[in-house]
Amino acid sequence: VNWSDIWVLYRRELRSAFRDRTIVMNGILVPVFMYPIMMWVMMTGLMFVLGQMDRESSRLVILDPPPEHSALLDTLGAQTNLEIQEDVISEDSAMVLLRAGDLDALVEFLPPTDESSALEDNFQVLIRYDRAVNRSSQASARVESAIADYRSEWLTQQASDLGIPETDHEQFRIVQDNVSTEEDIGTLLMGMMIPMFLVLMIAMGCLMPAIDSTAGERERSTWETLMTVSASRLSVVTSKYFYVATLGILAGVLNVIAMFASMGVIMGPLLMDLGESANAFQFSLPLLALPVMIVAAIALALFFAAAMMILAAFARTFKDGQAMVGPVFLLAMMPILMGQQTDQTLTPLTAAIPVANAAMMIRDAINGVFLWPLIAETLAVLLAMVTACLLIARVLLKTEDFILLSPDGRFSKFSKIFKSSSRSRLGRNSSEGLK
């Protein structure tokens, strides 16, 4: 390999890429602008929907309300998010409306059970609702909350009338204390978002350059011309490989920077809706997290670039190349399939799963967890995948039919090419052993 030729061709590929509007759009502008803006729009839309649901009134029918508890009816009627329909007076008609979606909940007051009948004027409440409908479930929760508050006040009043001190009838209390700090909340958010988007954007950054440098060259009829330059065939492909990996790393890094800078704007409306301040979280990374993330990004880019270029090289057109690299792009979804539980760390098993292991390694680094033996296993697995892809590419580069993509160089012939190369290599080794 002539590294001087590779450097010249590498710079030529980068200059060509930055003049290509499609590559610049997908490799630079999309990571910087699209995904942060898309997340902001998504969060804003989510908060709008939640606000609409909170303002939406729940339609109720109340049957057989006890006259002794008229205060409860007044409480339910005073709530602005509850709409009591008084024209329905039977259970059957109410159930018909509930099943048809014209009613959200049916509240029935029933006599107390034998165990609770000792308390005068006691009662029980049956709430009928449709769990498959969000509006109906919300109506049930609203009614249950209002009745629970009334029940607590009523029991306190009954105990006072009976002369029972509050200390004798008071039930146990549940007190919650959140010990997480602003840095912990920021780390939680970064651990959920950065690994997933980093993997996706590295794959997205490698996608277009990998197709353009292989299938795109064939479609423009420049592949054969490029093979006639003084540089070796291996130097040409190596320069393209480094160029694709570079754009993948660039896309991932730009996306992380954009996400890090816009995280407060994205999550601010959500926290404010929950009653928290926009300053309720702070973003900080451990010092060792940055080199670990950089190494993981490089390993992922090398793997995605090699795998995508191999598959795209079997395509004759850019459109066919997009279809060919689809299976590799699906690997970028592995962090989503593995879940977003930030309390899970790398294990020997998960460290052996390509792509997902890198995402979990990045998540652990953000959380300040550095399992060095498992990090080494993760990098070894990714580098083994890269080595396997490069060995496959080396076999393919020796085949003239594949380089020119003649009828004998199609993807269906790939296994025969690889098997024949393996047999010839074994034959040479055997002959050398006999000598």
The CATH number given to 55-169 is 3.40.190
- Assign 19 to helix, strand or coil: coil
Cβ partners under 8 Å of residue 198, min gap 6? 252, 255, 256, 293, 297, 300, 359, 362
Residue 87 has what pLDDT?
A: 82
Residue 385 has what pLDDT?
A: 92
CB-CB neighbours of 246 under 10 Å:
21
Residue 129 has what pLDDT?
A: 92
Residue 127 has what pLDDT?
A: 92
Cβ partners under 8 Å of residue 94, min gap 6? 61, 63, 88, 103, 106, 128
Residue spans of the domains in the chain: they are: 3-44+182-422, 55-169
pLDDT tens, the chain, 435 aa long: 688 888 998 998 888 888 888 788 877 787 777 667 777 777 777 777 777 777 788 899 998 888 888 888 888 888 888 888 888 778 888 898 889 888 999 999 888 876 655 667 788 889 999 988 888 998 999 999 998 888 888 888 877 877 777 777 666 677 888 777 777 777 787 888 888 888 888 888 888 888 888 888 888 878 777 777 888 888 888 899 999 999 988 888 887 777 777 766 666 555 555 555 555 566 677 888 888 988 999 999 999 999 998 888 888 888 888 888 888 888 788 776 665 666 678 889 988 988 888 988 998 888 888 899 999 999 999 999 999 988 888 777 776 666 665 544 455 555 555 555 555 554 555 555 444
Residue 182 has what pLDDT?
A: 74
Distance CA 360, CA 364 (A): 6
Dig out the tokens for 205 from the structure: 């950054």
Amino acid code (one letter) for 368: G
Residue 205 has what pLDDT?
A: 86
- Assign 104 to helix, strand or coil: coil
Residue 408 has what pLDDT?
A: 46
Distance CA 170, CA 152 (A): 10
Residue 319 has what pLDDT?
A: 84
Q: What is the DSSP string of 283-324?
A: ----TTHHHHHHHHHHHHHHHHHHHHHHHHTT-SSHHHHHHH
Residue 375 has what pLDDT?
A: 93
